[in-house]
Amino acid sequence: MSRIGNSVMLANVSRRHFLRGLAAGSAFVMAARWGLATAADSAEVKYGAAAMPGGWVDNPNVFIRIDADGTVTITNHRAEMGQGIRTSLALVAADELGADWDRVKVEQADANQDKYGNQNTDGSRSMRHWYEPMRRAAAGARLMLEQAAADQWGVPVDEVETRVHEVVHKNSDRSLGFGELAAAARELEVPDRDQLTLKPDSQLRYIGRETGLVNGDLTNRDTRPPAIDGEDVVTGKARFGADVQMDNMLYAVIARPPVLGATIKSVDDSATLGVRGVVKTITLEGTGMPAAFSPLGGVAVVAENTWAAIKGRDALEIEWNMEPAGDNARYTSNDYRQMLEERAESAGKVVRESGDIEKALKEANKTVTATYYMPHMAQAPMEPPVAIVQFNGDTAEAWAPVQHPRATRQGVAGALGLDLEKVTVHQTLLGGGFGRKSKPDFVIEAARLASQFKGRPVRVQWTREDDIHHAYFHAVSVDRLEAALDSDGKATGWLHRTLSPSIGSLFAEDPKHKADFELGMGFNTMPFDIPAIRLENPEAAAHTRIGWFRAVYNLPHAWAIQSFAAEMAEAAGRDHRDYLLELLGEPRKINPSEFKDGWNYGENPEVYPIDIGRMRAVVERATREANWDNKDRGERRGLGLAMHHSFVSYTAIVMDVEVDDAGEVIIHRADIAFDCGRAVNPERVRSQMEGACVMGIGIALQSEVSFRDGKAEQDNFDRYLIPRMENAPREVHVHLVDGGEDAPMGGVGEPGLPPVAPALCNAIYAATGKRIRRLPVADQLG
């Protein structure tokens, strides 16, 4: 039996643990995921990756394969949706392994939580949860290569070391390439975790290194490791979900009930069946409420190509029964907003309180009050939902661009009455996700249709109209804030009421209040150092499907709080930056539980406190880079600032904005200061910040889905507006802030987004004196 190392001590006692990671009991994990459990519910509280269903895995044999020709194949098990995780996680492994990037390939894992650990790609978690397991997996593989070389040379393993793609004997000039060692290394036992030594930072070649475009300059141009999918993307070869081609495939589009909960009264498909290429129509039952990840039902048109299916759908005559939709059929978002605004005038469920807010408001020298509104939005990833499923009787295969492979596999298995093991879900590239593709409803639709065409792959294609009309919408939100200022303008009281439907309504009877994890997104974690604070969450019912949208409830919370801080500074006659720093108070670390937040993005509050010092640092950096002290930028032009802490990272943005006479907003420059702890692949961190900035501009200026009588009023990019190039800042500068030695790794994909809209609206105020309290800005400046 081959073994690794020279002593019996290396017998692999913890191998079982190595394979399974630290998967926790799933009931608790689900509860924790939803913020429904507190520490007291479980004897052993788990955090981070260990608290996720399936936990983490760091077995080298799961993630790393080396072939005789030296090719290193790294398996990526997270969804690639533009954040660059296929490149970044592979770089982590390659660096620790000592692999030459030019000889690294990345393979995409199928859905298999038991094998790979958690694959649910949301919450800006991929890097912070997988950085360490990946390094350990690669360090284990490296040790196996080193042992194989030592065995071959008959020398102790501590006499050998790994250089780039080869192992060398330090005392002689012998060397063996990874490929030459691969077969022998594969036979070795996986080393025990405590035998691993990770490379010191000084030996890292890829991790943390600035490459590529840094604020306009190309850095380390010739040594930048190319993005894994870069070449395929620019040549049109990259395979997204939409691009999967199968022999004998059927193409379907579905006419879904226009209102959530409505059902079919009657269908006339005679014209449809006359359309060339249409094969069949199939009526799909909706699964009722709560909607969860279930299909909405409707009438599917199955055809020989997409165009025939679309034309066939246009020809359907369907009468819908609105009765089962109940209140949803009367949902008009404008009325709903007014109702929430009225309700915001009265007290609601208190979620955090300190000091005496009544007294503070009564004794105030001045009070400031404002109510803010953020509308529904659709994620609208550039690739609309699409999925292919083939049902073979006792097995099924799916190909789909999904953020949550596990839920997809479960959904397909459930729809086809198969055991989980009988279903294979192939993860494709995602043409954007933003939370939409966390929900596998569209794959389940394909599975249901496939069950009627045994042996034939069936593709369900969503059109853009489907995508926007039937989104899992970002919740509308009304936030009312009231502050007490003393005679020096100093804040003495803060009363914030937040009202929006909860994502909980998607899965259970409508809770009508935000769950812990929703409040924990910047509402009860509001960091200001004010003597009297009361935070309330009055009721708000859901009337459509509410779901995650990149950064989720951080969006309205940050927009309201950071707009209001600027209004307070104005009322106090103070500079906004100085006032914001004063509101934040002295640098200090706060346990989120002090703020009644038991969630903390799933992270250990000891490791991830709310760090006021890091908040101050990003504010100071962004304002300095933007030359805040020289605020006067001329007529109808001004600077706006906002800061927000989310996904355990810290972001501040300053925008330099001009509003022309026609009311058009021109963004001259954005300075983004971002602290996510160690930036593993700074180049992709910068690109995420740039992209979030653009998306946030759309949230501020353009994007709204409104409802009338239960129906979304927008359904394509002609009326659901998202940013175009003309809306982007002329310049974006991203400044990565060093959070300090003990700064733990934070999220990247989402935390750039929340402060964009308030920074932009604050800049619009500086430019025009017009205070925006209702999004989007649209024609409010005209």
Partner 1 sequence: MINLTINGQEHELDVPGDMPLLWALRDVVKLTGTKFGCGIAQCGACTVHLDGEATRSCVTPVASAEGKAVTTIEAMADDDVGQRVQQAWLELGVAQCGYCQGGQIMTATALLKENSNPDGAEIRDAMNGNLCRCGTYNRIEAAVARAAGMEDKS
Q: Which residues bind ligand FES (CB under 6 A)?
A: 82, 382, 432
Q: Are strands 423-427 and 396-400 parallel, antiparallel or unpaired?
A: parallel
The single residue among 384, 457, 504, 755 that binds partner 1, judged by CB under 8 A, is 384
Closest contact distance (angstroms) between CB of 83 and partner 1 is 7
Closest contact distance (angstroms) between CB of 49 and partner 1 is 24
Assigned token pair, 343: 């309700």
544 binds partner 1 (CB under 8 A): no
Q: Is 380 left (phi over 0), alpha (psi -120 to 50) or beta?
A: left
* Nearest CA among 104, 50, 386, 65 for reference residue 229: 104
Reduce the secondary structure of 392-436 to three states and give it as a string: CCCCEEEEECCCCHHHHHHHHHHHHCCCHHHEEEEECECCCCCCH
Closest contact distance (angstroms) between CB of 513 and ligand FES is 35
Q: Which is nearer to ligand FES, 80 or 482 (CB)?
A: 80
Q: Which is nearer to partner 1, 231 or 419 (CB)?
A: 231
Could you say which residues in the range 442-461 bind partner 1, by CB under 8 A?
A: 461
Amino acid at 324: P
Tell me the CA distances in angstroms from 482 to 346, 371, 491, one per residue in order.
12, 9, 11
Q: Which is nearer to ligand FES, 82 or 749 (CB)?
A: 82
Closest contact distance (angstroms) between CB of 93 and ligand FES is 25
Q: How far apart are CA 379 and CA 336, in angstroms?
A: 21
Of 123-131, 376-384, 596-604, 768-776, the segment contacting partner 1 by CB under 8 A is 376-384
Closest contact distance (angstroms) between CB of 12 and ligand FES is 44
* Interaction pattern, residues 270-289, with partner 1; x per rule: CB under 8 A: ------xx------------
Query: Which residues, listed in sequence order, are joined to residue 527 by a DSSP beta bridge?
Result: none
221 binds partner 1 (CB under 8 A): yes
Q: Which is nearer to partner 1, 135 or 376 (CB)?
A: 376
Query: Which residues, listed in sequence order, are joined to residue 169 by a DSSP beta bridge?
Result: 160
The interface partner of residue 728, options being partner 1, ligand FES, none and the CB cut-off 5 to 8 Å by kind, is: partner 1
Q: Which is nearer to ligand FES, 121 or 371 (CB)?
A: 121
The interface partner of residue 476, options being ligand FES, partner 1, none and the CB cut-off 5 to 8 Å by kind, is: none
102 binds partner 1 (CB under 8 A): no
Query: Which residues, listed in sequence order, are joined to residue 368 by a DSSP beta bridge?
Result: 483
Closest contact distance (angstroms) between CB of 314 and ligand FES is 17
Of 53-61, 300-308, 312-320, 564-572, the segment contacting partner 1 by CB under 8 A is 300-308
248 binds partner 1 (CB under 8 A): no
Q: Which is nearer to partner 1, 126 or 147 (CB)?
A: 126
Side-by-side strand order, sheet with 64-66? 64-66, 72-76, 104-108
In sign, the C-alpha dihedral spanning 244, 250, 255, 256 is: negative
**List of residues 6+ apart from 632 with CB closer than 8 A:** none
203 binds partner 1 (CB under 8 A): no
Q: Which is nearer to ligand FES, 213 or 590 (CB)?
A: 213
760 binds partner 1 (CB under 8 A): no
Assigned token pair, 172: 């002689």
Q: Is 10 exposed, middle or buried (0-12, 13-18, 19+ CB in 10 A)?
A: middle
- With CB under 8 A, what is the number of residues at the site for partner 1? 71
The interface partner of residue 718, options being ligand FES, partner 1, none and the CB cut-off 5 to 8 Å by kind, is: partner 1
Q: Which is nearer to ligand FES, 82 or 457 (CB)?
A: 82
Q: Which is nearer to ligand FES, 54 or 432 (CB)?
A: 432
Query: Which residues, listed in sequence order, are joined to residue 64 by a DSSP beta bridge?
Result: 74
Tell me the CA distances in angstroms from 120 to 22, 79, 347, 455, one per residue in order.
16, 8, 37, 29
Closest contact distance (angstroms) between CB of 431 and ligand FES is 6
Closest contact distance (angstroms) between CB of 679 and partner 1 is 15
Reduce the secondary structure of 667-705 to three states and give it as a string: EEEEEEEEECCCCCCHHHHHHHHHHHHHHHHHHHHCCCE
Q: Is 459 in a helix, a strand, or coil?
A: strand
Closest contact distance (angstroms) between CB of 383 and ligand FES is 8
Could you say which residues in the range 155-194 bind partner 1, by CB under 8 A?
A: none
Closest contact distance (angstroms) between CB of 304 and partner 1 is 8
522 binds partner 1 (CB under 8 A): no
Strands (E), 518-609: 532-537, 589-590
The interface partner of residue 25, options being ligand FES, partner 1, none and the CB cut-off 5 to 8 Å by kind, is: none
Residue of closest CB approach to ligand FES: 382
12 binds partner 1 (CB under 8 A): no
Cβ distance 617 to 609 under 8 Å?
A: no
The single residue among 238, 279, 420, 571 that binds partner 1, judged by CB under 8 A, is 238
The interface partner of residue 573, options being partner 1, ligand FES, none and the CB cut-off 5 to 8 Å by kind, is: none
Amino acid at 400: A
For residues 425-446, one letter each, b for 16 or more C-beta atoms within 10 angstroms of the residue's C-beta and e for the rest, the string is bbbbbbbbbbbbbbbbbbbbbb
Closest contact distance (angstroms) between CB of 250 and partner 1 is 11
The interface partner of residue 578, options being partner 1, ligand FES, none and the CB cut-off 5 to 8 Å by kind, is: none
Closest contact distance (angstroms) between CB of 432 and partner 1 is 5
**List of residues 6+ apart from 284 with CB closer than 8 A:** 254, 295, 297, 298, 299, 300, 445, 448, 449
Q: Which is nearer to partner 1, 307 or 528 (CB)?
A: 307
Phi (first) and psi of residue 604, to 5 degrees: -65, 120
Q: How far apart are CA 382 and CA 738, in angstroms?
A: 33
The single residue among 258, 348, 381, 758 that binds partner 1, judged by CB under 8 A, is 381
402 binds partner 1 (CB under 8 A): no
Q: Which is nearer to partner 1, 708 or 724 (CB)?
A: 724
Amino acid at 145: L
Cβ distance 103 to 74 under 8 Å?
A: no
Closest contact distance (angstroms) between CB of 224 and partner 1 is 8
Q: Which is nearer to partner 1, 368 or 692 (CB)?
A: 692
The single residue among 28, 47, 307, 528 that binds partner 1, judged by CB under 8 A, is 307
As a whole number of angstroms, the longest Cα–Cα distance in the chain is 83
Q: Is 438 left (phi over 0), alpha (psi -120 to 50) or beta?
A: alpha
Of 25-33, 237-245, 442-450, 571-579, the segment contacting partner 1 by CB under 8 A is 237-245
Query: Which residues, listed in sequence order, are joined to residue 494 by a DSSP beta bridge?
Result: 483, 533
Q: How far apart are CA 510 and CA 488, in angstroms?
A: 44
Of 349-357, 551-559, 635-643, 690-698, the segment contacting partner 1 by CB under 8 A is 690-698
The interface partner of residue 384, options being partner 1, ligand FES, none and the CB cut-off 5 to 8 Å by kind, is: partner 1
Closest contact distance (angstroms) between CB of 127 and ligand FES is 19
The interface partner of residue 723, options being ligand FES, partner 1, none and the CB cut-off 5 to 8 Å by kind, is: partner 1
Angle at 156 between CA 150 and CA 162, to 5 degrees: 50
Cβ distance 766 to 364 under 8 Å?
A: no
Closest contact distance (angstroms) between CB of 311 and partner 1 is 8
Closest contact distance (angstroms) between CB of 711 and partner 1 is 19
The interface partner of residue 694, options being partner 1, ligand FES, none and the CB cut-off 5 to 8 Å by kind, is: partner 1
